[in-house]
Structure 1
Amino acid sequence: MTSPTPPTEPTHAERTYRSGAGLVGGALLILLVGWIGGDAVVQGEGRTPWLALAALLTVVPLIVAFTLRPAVFADEERIRIRNPFRTIVLPWTDVSSVRASYSSEVFTHEGAKYQLWAVPVSLRERKRAARKATQQAHDDPYGRASVHADVRDSQARAAAADRTVNDLRELAERAEARKEAGAVTASVRWAYEVIAPAVVGAVLLVVLLAIG
């Protein structure tokens, strides 16, 4: 009796890139704001509970937008950029370059530029990685270490944003080499699920303050 053939798994699964510091900071901010606002709602008097609710409705979506929401999803065909207020989908055939200078950015052949909020650039981390590379070059001036070890070490030492950008560049280069136009089309969608509650909360807050 032959055993069933296991299902074929995709060769290249979708990769996800997010900022760990952003996730932790966002969660802590939500807890802090929720604690302060909840206390004002429960124990406040007069208009205070309503002001607190309006402030929470305004602030919490913004915290989520700038800390928990940003992410980059990439596979062999496309890159999906989830920024605070927009989600951008680009097939790799539309991407001209991926760069990380003071911020991480994707450029298209049409000249459009999209920032990768989920891949923040740390200049301090980059300087630290450069110092480590200089130190290794000083310790091994004749390159006695193997080529493969040197490549692995240099990748490990690189700043997190630079490692992510290198991964995305590799995906873009592979797509460029294939010269295949996939089924993915470019699109930009506004995150109304974040914008709408923040706007409603801000309007309510202004009205409550105005009627004093």
Structure 2
Amino acid sequence: MTSEEKDQGEGAGNDAGGGPGNGTGSGTGSGEAPENAAQAFPDRVYRSAAAMAGGIAMLAIGLWLSIDAILGGEGRTPWLALAGLLFAVPLVVAFTLRPAVFAGEQRMRVRNPFRTIEAPWGAVETVRAGYSSEFVANGTKYQLWAIPVSLRARKKATRHNERIASGRPPATGPGGLFGGRGVPDLAPDESELREKRAPSDQSVDELRELLETHGGEEEAQGEVAVRWSFEVIAPAVAGAVLLAVLLATS
């Protein structure tokens, strides 16, 4: 049974019995429903928890300041606050809450700040993480905003692996009055004796494994589709124009 027939069967079961058809992915975030029934993904979802937390905090602070200016401001202040919200909110959402990578057996869908890229595995040449996470499809490089690279985490994982390879016990967290290294445990946990990978490198490894496993399948062939996210661009441009007009005529 092909994946497409399986999806149709699951959809029919949902119509008849009302049961859920999609499972939760094994990525770093929660699953989301595909945009249309023809898409058989996502199985895994990757997001940046730090970016999402920062975006929520910025939105909360911005809304608080803007509402205060709208309710208590005089003259053009409320209009400037509204224009600022219209301009800033889409940008904050675009760079913090929006980025995500949805990876399934046939393709992956990459949601960057201003574009959505849908790439079948057969069109993807490589997935890699250097100073940033990216993939190459049909000779074109695309960034993976949802999987930011942390050089600090990568160096920490490298130091841990070097200690394990040399037979030394893994280092514990900071301890003591001045934050010095604590005394290693006499019996380290088994997980501490395994090699570690930085979160971004681990996510890229999983995507590369999907590419190697499904890249040659017939269902995973096709062309890369890129769509501009006008639902983000349009309100930000409108807010910028309104803000510029208000400032120019003040």
Shorter-chain TM band: 0.7 to 0.9
Equivalence for 1:197: 235
- Given the alignment of the two structures, is residue 163 of structure 1 paired with residue 202 of structure 2, yes or no? yes
> Which residue is 1:58 aligned to?
87
8 A Cα contact 1:17 1:72, kept in partner: yes
Distance in 1 between residues matched to 2:20 and 2:145, nearest whole Å = 36
TM-score where L is the length of structure 2: 0.73
CA pair 26-7 structure 1, distance change in 2 beyond 3 A: closer
CA distance in 2, matches of 1:7, 1:208: 50
After superposing on structure 2, the runs of 4+ consecutive aligned residues of structure 1 that deviate more than 6 Å are: 6-10
State the SS of the aligned residue for 2:218: coil
> Unaligned regions of 5+ residues in structure 2, if any?
1-18, 26-41, 169-189
**Correspondence 1:102 to 2:131:** yes
Structure 1 residue 88 and structure 2 residue 108: aligned?
Answer: no
8 A contact 2:105–2:220 mirrored in 1 = no
Provide the residue aligned with 1:20 in structure 2. Answer: 49
Query: Residues of 1 paired with 2:149 and 2:143: CA distance?
Result: 11
* Structure 1 position 183, deviation (Å): 6.7
Which residue of the other structure, out of 130, 152, 174, is the alignment partner of 1:124? 152
Partner of 1:144: none
Deviation at 1:106, TM superposition (A): 0.5
CA shift in 2, pair 1:161/1:7, >3 Å = closer
More helix by share: 1
1:173 is aligned, of 186, 197, 212, to 212
- Partner in structure 1 of residue 100 of structure 2: 71
Q: Read off the aligned partner of 2:235 and give its amino acid letter.
A: P
Higher relative contact order (CA 8 A, sep 6+): 1
1:77·1:184 contact (CA, 8 Å) conserved in 2?
Answer: no
1:7/1:101 CA distance change after superposition, 3 Å? closer
The secondary structure found in structure 1 opposite 2:166 is: helix
Q: Distance in 1 between matches of 2:202 and 2:20?
A: 32
Q: Which residue of 1 aligns with 2:39?
A: none
Change (3 A) 1:39 1:190: same
For these two proteins, the number of residue pairs brought into alignment is 194
CA RMSD of aligned residues (A): 2.4
CA contact (8 A) 2:120 2:222 kept: yes
How many Å separate the matches in 1 of 2:51 and 2:144?
A: 13
Q: Give 1:127 shift.
A: 0.2
Residue type of the partner of 1:202? A
Distance apart, 1:44 and its partner CA:
0.4
Percent of pairs identical after alignment?
53
1: CA distance between counterparts of 2:57 and 2:211?
A: 35
Q: How many Å apart are 1:210 and its aligned residue?
A: 0.7
Alignment-derived partner of residue 153 in structure 1? 194
Q: Give the C-alpha shift of residue 111 in structure 1.
A: 1.0
Q: Output the CA distance in 1 between the equivalents of 2:142 and 2:96.
A: 18
CA distance in 1, matches of 2:139, 2:103: 21
Is the 8 Å Cα contact of residues 107 and 121 (structure 2) preserved in structure 1?
yes
